[in-house]
């Protein structure tokens, strides 16, 4: 450890770099590398660098036969500066998409999550679709590989929205991407509609099938969310079968989630079997007497039979990460396809015109016996000038100028070709080339129609087996509280102010689940909604406890309270709907020593009639009791102050009757207020009486 900085040799301090500065620069370089070269696909061809290099290597090795994957991996390492494991894993992922690679052997199972066999045991070759759509060396831009020994494509000339067909997922430094796969034919239809100026929509489609709710898809942008469900059906009397699973899950992870839900009491099952092979088949055995529909709902609510996916379309464009929607990706891909097709046509036109030019020169050279003029020429320059002079009268019929290279090629024509020259065959060949040239020119002049024909061709030849596997539908909202099994019991200690499932020595409230909410009212006018737990403190002198659910939200609460110690008494009726959990709501006006004199719960068509007893005073000239009908009040919010009952001191409020048919579950509390002598003695207790 160096204690004195003066002892450090600073002779070469100008060349030193602080660690902090190194970290800042190097980490930025690393982050850029991960984003651009590893995790995020490029918009132009929809591929990550490792995928692009794998496909390029397979094209290098392409001879129509299968190659060992280990051989492809080794060949790819000439272009990819990482280990063989990362290459083979990436190749298996591309192969499992069943679009670009024709596979042979055990390539794993997307349903069960089983891994592929070792790369030395499995084989692959490019699919016919890949050979037609992905490669064209003439339109490919090249760059040097990482070690400068090879050339690799900057982008592959992909003439199809490959990124949206395969999907992509990756985690970089500071950002991630999750582009969901879409249906092959729907992508082509979308491209055709775009080229025709029509609107189109795109929604995900998964190899694993299932169903999807796309109302919040948001075009695949940030903030969107989709719900995906397994295909769950009744198989037998007490057996449920799962035929398709949600995207991103496997039968192993799904079964594990079902077992965990069973252990937590969310769903009751006897056993579960996985019979998946080429198709998904998971059997869930239920106990006898179980509700089939409720069990299916529980599978959706508490297991991976329903998952929520948040798409995030992050791509590399112009060497920078960008966030765009799937429709914009399709539009850019379609425009790119149109540009590549135009480039191919221009190259084809140039080749045809060069071919026509070469054949026409040969015809003129042989038909007019220009080769005889060079027989006695001694120097090379004399030979070239003689041929050029012989061609001069015919140059006006050619489509471009005659170059020195053209003349040199004429001198290389073998004698056999001259002796077997057939003018009719040459004319026929030139005619065919001219027809092809006109056709190419017509396609260039109508490039949009040509692109539409190209997409139609792809759909006809490769889209027959690409039907949608995922059903689009709108899911019903599942109320987990209703579905959950009431496997616990709720208790209350009213005096001490505790509620919970662990208070078994106290008063029983009701059966419940750990997803339920509980609404509680206390004597000092506090209302609170809390989640079911083993033990929760609410506040002393609890008046009412019940589960807070859709049924309780329809209840009407009746309340009479005093505003402060000796203040005016108020009466009100209110409902409780939206609340914030664990927040104290004051049902009085919040003054110190305010308290509830009467509290009850009714159905919507019921109203209590109570008798209000006033304290006897010498100055009190009016009656010392009167009736109060809650049915005369308007139902307001819980924060309302209420109507004045009396400004005199109330001794007690007693329940008298109910205006309509009462229910056994309604609870009525009559609280007798202590007399003045008890107050003067310093007693804080209040005598209460409960009436049901």
CA 467 – CA 583 distance, rounded (Å): 52
Does residue 308 contact residue 225 with C-beta atoms inside 8 Å?
A: yes
Does residue 377 contact residue 383 with C-beta atoms inside 8 Å?
A: yes
Structure tokens given for 508: 């029983």
Chain-centroid distance of CA 429 in Å reads 56
462 carries an active-site annotation: no
Does residue 58 contact residue 124 with C-beta atoms inside 8 Å?
A: yes
CA 572 – CA 592 distance, rounded (Å): 19
φ, ψ of residue 558 to 5 degrees: the values are -105, 135
Who contacts 472 (Cβ-Cβ below 8 Å, separation ≥6)? 203, 211, 212, 214
The 10 Å CB-count burial string (b at 16+, else e) for 196-213 is eeeebebbbbbebbbbbb
Cβ neighbours of 633 (radius 10 Å):
17
Question: Could you give the angle at the alpha carbon of 457 between the alpha carbons of 325 and 107, nearest 5°?
Answer: 70
Catalytic site residue from 121, 371, 557, 598: 121
Beta bridge partners, 307, equal 228
Cβ neighbours of 89 (radius 10 Å):
15
Cβ neighbours of 392 (radius 10 Å):
10
Sign of CA dihedral 438, 444, 445, 451: positive
Does residue 189 contact residue 323 with C-beta atoms inside 8 Å?
A: no
Structure tokens given for 81: 């500066």
CA 359 – CA 608 distance, rounded (Å): 108
DSSP H helical ranges for 282-325: 292-302
User: Which residues are annotated as catalytic?
Assistant: 121
């Amino acid at each position: 450890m160096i204690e004195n900085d003066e002892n450090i040799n600073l002779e070469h301090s100008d060349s030193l770099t602080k660690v902090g500065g190194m970290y800042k620069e190097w980490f930025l370089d690393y982050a850029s590398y991960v984003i651009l070269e590893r995790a995020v696909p490029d918009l132009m061809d929809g591929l990550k660098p490792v995928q692009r290099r794998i496909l390029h290597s397979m094209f290098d090795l392409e001879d129509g036969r299968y190659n060992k994957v280990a051989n492809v991996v080794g060949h790819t390492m000439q272009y990819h500066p990482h280990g063989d494991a990362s290459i083979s894993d990436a190749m298996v992922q591309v192969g499992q998409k069943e679009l670009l690679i024709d596979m042979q052997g055990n390539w794993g199972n997307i349903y069960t999550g089983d891994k592929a066999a070792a790369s030395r045991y499995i084989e692959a070759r490019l699919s016919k679709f890949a050979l037609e759509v992905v490669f064209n060396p003439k339109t490919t831009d090249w760059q040097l590989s990482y070690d400068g020994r090879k050339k690799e494509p900057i982008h592959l000339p992909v003439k199809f929205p490959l990124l949206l067909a395969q999907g992509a997922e990756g985690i970089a430094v500071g950002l991630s991407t999750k582009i969901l796969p879409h249906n092959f034919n729907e992508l082509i239809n979308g491209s055709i509609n775009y080229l025709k100026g029509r609107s189109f929509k795109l929604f995900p489609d998964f190899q694993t099938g299932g169903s999807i709710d796309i109302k919040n898809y948001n075009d695949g942008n940030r903030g969107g969310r989709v719900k995906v469900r397994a295909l769950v059906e009744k198989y037998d009397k007490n057996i449920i079968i799962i035929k398709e699973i949600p995207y991103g899950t496997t039968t192993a992870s799904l079964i594990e989630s079902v077992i965990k839900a069973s252990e937590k009491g969310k769903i009751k099952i006897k056993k579960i079997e996985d019979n998946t092979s080429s198709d998904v088949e998971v059997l869930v055995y239920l106990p006898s007497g179980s509700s089939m529909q409720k069990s299916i709902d529980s599978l959706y609510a508490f297991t991976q039979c329903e998952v929520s996916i948040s798409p995030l379309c992050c791509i590399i464009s112009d060497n920078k990460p960008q966030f765009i929607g799937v429709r914009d990706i399709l539009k850019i891909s379609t425009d790119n396809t149109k540009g590549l097709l135009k480039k191919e046509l221009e190259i084809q036109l140039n080749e045809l015109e060069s071919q026509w030019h070469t054949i026409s020169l040969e015809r003129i050279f042989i038909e007019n016996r220009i080769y005889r003029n060079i027989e006695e020429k001694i120097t090379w320059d004399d030979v070239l000038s003689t041929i050029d002079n012989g061609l001069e009268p015919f140059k006006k019929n050619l489509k471009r100028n005659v170059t020195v290279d053209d003349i040199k090629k004429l001198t290389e024509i073998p004698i056999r070709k001259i002796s077997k020259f057939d003018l009719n065959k040459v004319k026929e060949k030139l005619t065919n080339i001219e027809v092809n040239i006109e056709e190419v020119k017509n396609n260039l002049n109508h490039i949009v129609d040509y692109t539409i024909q190209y997409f139609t061709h792809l759909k006809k030849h490769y889209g027959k087996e690409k039907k949608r596997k995922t059903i689009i539908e709108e899911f019903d909202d599942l109320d987990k509280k209703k579905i959950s099994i009431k496997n616990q019991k709720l208790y209350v200690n009213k005096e001490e102010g505790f509620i919970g499932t662990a208070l078994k020595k106290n008063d029983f409230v009701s059966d419940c689940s750990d997803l339920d909410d509980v609404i509680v009212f206390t004597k000092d006018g506090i209302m609170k909604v809390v989640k079911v737990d083993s033990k929760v403190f609410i506040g002393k002198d609890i008046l009412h406890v019940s589960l807070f659910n859709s049924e309780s939200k329809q209840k009407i609460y009746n309340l009479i309270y005093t505003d402060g110690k000796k203040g005016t008494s108020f009466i009100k009726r209110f409902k409780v709907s939206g609340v914030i959990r664990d927040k104290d709501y004051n049902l009085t006006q919040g003054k110190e020593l305010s308290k509830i004199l009467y509290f009850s719960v009714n159905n919507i068509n019921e109203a209590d009639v109570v008798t209000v007893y006033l304290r006897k005073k010498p100055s009190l000239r009016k009656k010392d009791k009167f009736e109060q009908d809650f049915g005369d009040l308007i139902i307001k919010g819980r924060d309302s102050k209420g109507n004045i009952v009396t400004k005199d001191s109330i001794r007690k409020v007693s329940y008298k009757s109910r205006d309509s048919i009462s229910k056994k579950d309604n609870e009525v509390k009559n609280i007798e207020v202590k007399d003045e002598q008890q107050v003067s003695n310093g007693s804080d207790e209040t005598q209460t009486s409960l009436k049901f």
